[in-house]
Structure 1
Amino acid sequence: MFSMPMALILSSHVAASMVGGGVSQRVMNAAGIDTMLVPTVLYGRHPGWGLPGGGPVEQDLFESVLSGISDQGLLDVTDVVLTGYFADVGQVFDSAAVMDVVRKGRRINKGVKAFSPEPVIVVDPIMGDAPGGLYVSAAIAAAIKDQLIPRAHLVTPNLFELGHITGRPLTDLASIVRAARSMERPVLVSSLPRHGQIGVLYVDEHEAWLVVHDRFPKAPNGTGDALTAAFVTHLLAGEDAKTSLEQSVAATVSLVMRAAEWSAPELPLVAAAAVLTAPLVTLEAEAVQLA
């Protein structure tokens, strides 16, 4: 077997900002995971800084990059497919097709020398956030919901995205857990307000775990990308959901702590890479029991 896993990342490439696929790639690389990043957009900077420069990757080019990866035989040894930001509905449909190829290829090619017996499909349904709402088109949001989530082994929405996807009111922790379980697959929910703090919740059909940490006055963009990628690295290493939750949230918090300490406008994923494997804080998840 190969000594290291392989991940296919379908998300944004932003040259001067630590967000999107670049964050996913660096977090996974730090954990010893090889990565292939297929960009959905090519931006100069995060739009939050102003006009980003660049633009969406046209569907024909997106498909051509995927074809090159397929022709090299690398879809057969892909252990993780991680999707993030999309700029076009066609990209979503192409990504769904790639998921099917990866899963079917592993079943057909039983002797393939991949790291994991089965590939893991992870959908970060990047659609929007509170209070602004959707920041992708309604068509892209619908395609993510209809095409990608049914194929996923893990979905990682923020609280707004969970509500948008499920169409359920999220009024308390119990309603959030029930909404997550209605998706019928493991879910990692971020950005939960918890008594002046922030929570991250893991839910599957058997268990639910919550980690809470202090708010930061200002955090760089990209923390959601870092959290998802870190959680996946721990799962791929064979850790259970509780440990993966604790370690991934602690690593993300540690990155923000370093950013605050150094007055860094972006996540210091290179300079502070050590905190991804040795977080500065220890967080304990608590079990969530529904009455």
Structure 2
Amino acid sequence: MKHVVSIQSHVSYGYVGNRAAVFPLQRLGIDVSAVNTVQFSNHTGYGAWRGSIQTQTHIQELLQGLDEVGALASVDGILSGYMGDVDLGQVICQFVRDQKQRHPDLFYCCDPVIGDIGRGVFVKPGVGEFFRDELVSLADLITPNIFELEFLSGHKVSSLTDVVHACDQLRCHAEQAICVTSVPSDDGQVALLMDTSQGSWWVRTPFLSFAIAPNGAGDLTAALLLGRYLLERSLVKALQLTTASVYQVFAATFAEKSRELQLIQAQNQLVEPTIEFEIKRIR
């Protein structure tokens, strides 16, 4: 059984961060050790929430405890997402370095949660720069949205060609893959785009116009991409399966007119999506 350590936020209500990542990975048959960087009542998109950011010491103790009970003897993947502050980022950085040295085949997926179009940067000062300058270089797969791609690469994106160029500028090493989420297409659809040094592919799906778009789509996407890659060992196959699953979750959420992802209702779609979208090579 594959084992993933997922280090990101937790909410008591709703599906973002680890709440959007752990269950889908488990449904794929992957064991998950969840380390929660924040403990909130609900996601911040509601405008009000309760809870706190976990301290650097707290996260270090959790990771040390996992090691002491032998839980890190086998680690196939690490997933990181929302960070409360730079101090937590330093802990994640060191943990990834240590585990990559210990497990040379480990695959690290970094979801650089920084901001979004329309909202701008919504993390604490310095967090975005830490992703850009420190954490991204360690990743085997990065999953930015368009806003985060622009922030990390330093290049404005207004076309598909711009997206691919920005990925080329962002890539830190030849084996690094970048999956850009929520890429608009000329026909009004939305796409996931996977860019590697060997080529680029995208999968387009219909755009669902929510009254209030649900949070957590990026967290779900990153988790499924990591899980599918660990099982399939193909980024292209992971892209196609992930796109289908995420769309079906969105379709269920749209039908319920909910602002929270309907992961439980659509859980079978996480494992065996009943729809397939065309994957197209674009370079």
TM-score bracket, normalised by the shorter chain, equals over 0.9
Matching of residue 93 in structure 1 with residue 90 in structure 2:
yes
Matching of residue 157 in structure 1 with residue 157 in structure 2:
no
Equivalent position of 2:252 in the other structure:
258
Matching of residue 102 in structure 1 with residue 114 in structure 2:
no
Equivalent position of 1:247 in the other structure:
241
Select the residue among 38, 60, 83 that pairs with 2:35: 38
Give the 3 Å change call, closer, same or farther, for CA 77–239 of structure 1 in structure 2. Answer: closer
Q: CA-to-partner distance for each residue in 1:12-59, whole Å, 9 max, x for gaps?
A: 001101111111101100101111111111000111123111021111
Asked whether the 8 Å contact 1:127–1:161 carries over to 2, the reply is yes
How many pairs are equivalent? 276
Please state how far the C-alpha of 1:248 moved relative to its aligned partner: 0.2
Equivalent position of 1:209 in the other structure:
201
TM-score normalized by structure 2?
Answer: 0.94
Could you tell me how far apart the structure 1 residues matched to 2:71 and 2:133 are? 26
Residue type of the partner of 2:255? Answer: E
1:269-288 aligned at under 5 Å gives the runs 269-288=263-282
Equivalent position of 1:135 in the other structure:
122
Percent identity, please.
26
Could you tell me how far apart the structure 2 residues matched to 1:84 and 1:100 are? 16
Could you tell me how far apart the structure 1 residues matched to 2:177 and 2:235 are? 10
Could you tell me how far apart the structure 1 residues matched to 2:102 and 2:109 are? 17
1:203-242 aligned at under 5 Å gives the runs 203-218=195-210, 219-242=213-236
Please state how far the C-alpha of 1:241 moved relative to its aligned partner: 2.1
Matching of residue 200 in structure 1 with residue 192 in structure 2:
yes
Please state how far the C-alpha of 1:239 moved relative to its aligned partner: 4.3
Residue type of the partner of 2:45? Answer: G
Q: CA-to-partner distance for each residue in 1:218-250, whole Å, 9 max, x for gaps?
A: 142111111111111111112422221111011
Could you tell me how far apart the structure 2 residues matched to 1:254 and 1:176 are? 25
Residue type of the partner of 2:182? Answer: S
Equivalent position of 2:50 in the other structure:
53
Matching of residue 174 in structure 1 with residue 168 in structure 2:
no
Residue type of the partner of 2:280? Answer: E
Asked whether the 8 Å contact 1:59–1:88 carries over to 2, the reply is no
Q: CA-to-partner distance for each residue in 1:139-198, whole Å, 9 max, x for gaps?
A: 111111122111111100001000000101212111211211222320000111112221
Please state whether the residue corresponding to 2:202 is helix, strand or coil: strand
TM-score normalized by structure 1?
Answer: 0.91
Asked whether the 8 Å contact 1:5–1:33 carries over to 2, the reply is yes
Please, which moves more after superposition, 8-17 or 261-270? 261-270
Matching of residue 186 in structure 1 with residue 186 in structure 2:
no
Could you tell me how far apart the structure 1 residues matched to 2:274 and 2:251 are? 8
Could you tell me how far apart the structure 1 residues matched to 2:269 and 2:232 are? 20
CA RMSD of aligned residues (A): 1.3
Please state how far the C-alpha of 1:88 moved relative to its aligned partner: 1.3
Could you tell me how far apart the structure 1 residues matched to 2:119 and 2:232 are? 37
Could you tell me how far apart the structure 2 residues matched to 1:75 and 1:168 are? 38
Please state whether the residue corresponding to 1:258 is helix, strand or coil: helix
Please state how far the C-alpha of 1:137 moved relative to its aligned partner: 2.3
Give unmatched runs, 5+ long, in structure 1: 108-117
Give unmatched runs, 5+ long, in structure 2: none
